[in-house]
Amino acid sequence: MPSNTAAVEKTEGLRLGSLRIRPGKLLLYVILGLVAVLQILPLIWLVLFSLKDNQEVFNLAPFALPADPQWSNYARVWTDGNIGLYFFNSVIVTGTAVILTVLLASLVTFAITRMQWKLNKLVLGLFMVGLMIPVHSTLIPLFSFFNTIGLMDHHLSIILTYTAFNLPLTMMILLGFYYTLPRELEEAAIMDGCSIHRMFFRIILPITAPVVATTAIINMIYNWNEFVFVNTFISSDSLKTLTVGIQNFIGQYSTDWGAIGATLVISMLPILIAFLILSNKIVEGMTSGSVKG
């Protein structure tokens, strides 16, 4: 009996020892926790900021709770400030540009990596050159071009610009994943009589869903927050997006800071929701092409 008791105690001791966290790992968890808190603090501050009036914004401490929460800031910006219209415009422009970019980049990457033709390396190099071009250095040439063809003050000018400039980065992310796809999938599909187009949409595109989700959220963040192109190409108030429409609350002599905060919270929510929904796919897509085999 004593020997059995000793054996049980030894086993329990080993289990407890395996649950102990090493000091180095504990320090890492503490550092990561602090980083997470620092990342969340600006979001908390912004929500509190959006519930204050101008007097509270300047008189109270940054993280002080509002004495009288101004929920009317949200109602005011949605109705009087036309934020509902700007929000809809942002959804249309961002969604269309993301779908076009991801679809075109997937098609081109599939053609370059999975099909044999003479100029595939040259075409890939031409697309990668786009990564070296400063985006806003093309502002004046694009303005002149869209003005000539009659696309100024039109959503299509913004959509085409976002799609063109996001294609190289999207393709670069997709390349690592496409190179790891087994050739046997395509060979089996061809043996079953599957056409190239059907093979891409029925087999390849569903398999690449994780990396497609990664590129989609990256494109969405850029398109949703972009300001310069919209401010340059769009002049009609009915076509403006959220990033430009927020200027309506900035006057020459006074600024409605609470309304600006409410607008920023509204504009932030779609990105957060999309990231939370696609977070697992994003992590999977970022690591899927790193190991071959």
Residue 159 lies in a domain: yes
Q: Residue 293: its pLDDT value, please?
A: 45
156 vs 103, 106, 144, 161, 261, CA distance in Å? 17, 21, 15, 8, 29
- Burial state string for 13-36 with b = 16 or more CB within 10 A and e = fewer than 16: eeeeeeeeeeeeeeeeeeeeeeee
Query: Among 4-18, 59-73, 118-132, 251-265, which is the least confidently predicted range?
Result: 4-18
Give yes or no for a contact between 108 and 171, defined as CB atoms under 8 angstroms apart: yes
Q: Residue 20: its pLDDT value, please?
A: 64
Of how many residues is the chain composed?
A: 293
Average pLDDT over residues 237-265: 79
Residue 12 scores a pLDDT above 70: no
Residue 29 lies in a domain: no
Alpha carbon distance, N-terminus to C-terminus of the chain: 53
Average pLDDT over residues 120-140: 88
Q: What percent of the chain has pLDDT over 90?
A: 27
The set of long-range contacts for 195-203, using a CB threshold of 8 Å and a minimum separation of 24, is 200/106, 200/107, 200/110
Q: Residue 292: its pLDDT value, please?
A: 47
Task: For 172-228, write each residue's pLDDT tens digit.
Answer: 999 988 888 888 888 888 888 888 888 888 888 888 888 898 899 889 989 998 999
Domain tally, the chain: 1
Residue 101 lies in a domain: yes
Residue 284 lies in a domain: yes
What CATH number does residue 97 fall under?
Answer: 1.10.3720.10
Q: Would you say the pTM of this structure is higher than 0.75?
A: yes
Distance CA 99, CA 82 (A): 26
Looking at residue 152, its amino acid is M
Domain that holds residue 86: 82-288
Q: Can you read off the two tokens belonging to residue 242?
A: 């959220």
Residue 148 scores a pLDDT above 70: yes
Q: What percent of the chain has pLDDT over 70?
A: 85
Residues 6+ positions from 77 with CB-CB distance below 8 Å:
83, 249, 259, 262, 263, 266
Give the model's confidence band at 62: pLDDT under 50 very low, under 70 low, under 90 confident, else very high. Answer: low
Residue 292 sits at φ, ψ, to 5 deg, of: -95, 140
Tokens 């503490």, located at residue: 30
Give yes or no for a contact between 112 and 123, defined as CB atoms under 8 angstroms apart: yes
Residue that wins the pLDDT comparison between 14 and 27 = 27
Instruction: Write down the H helix ranges in 150-182.
Output: 155-178
Average pLDDT over residues 89-93: 94
Give yes or no for a contact between 289 and 211, defined as CB atoms under 8 angstroms apart: yes
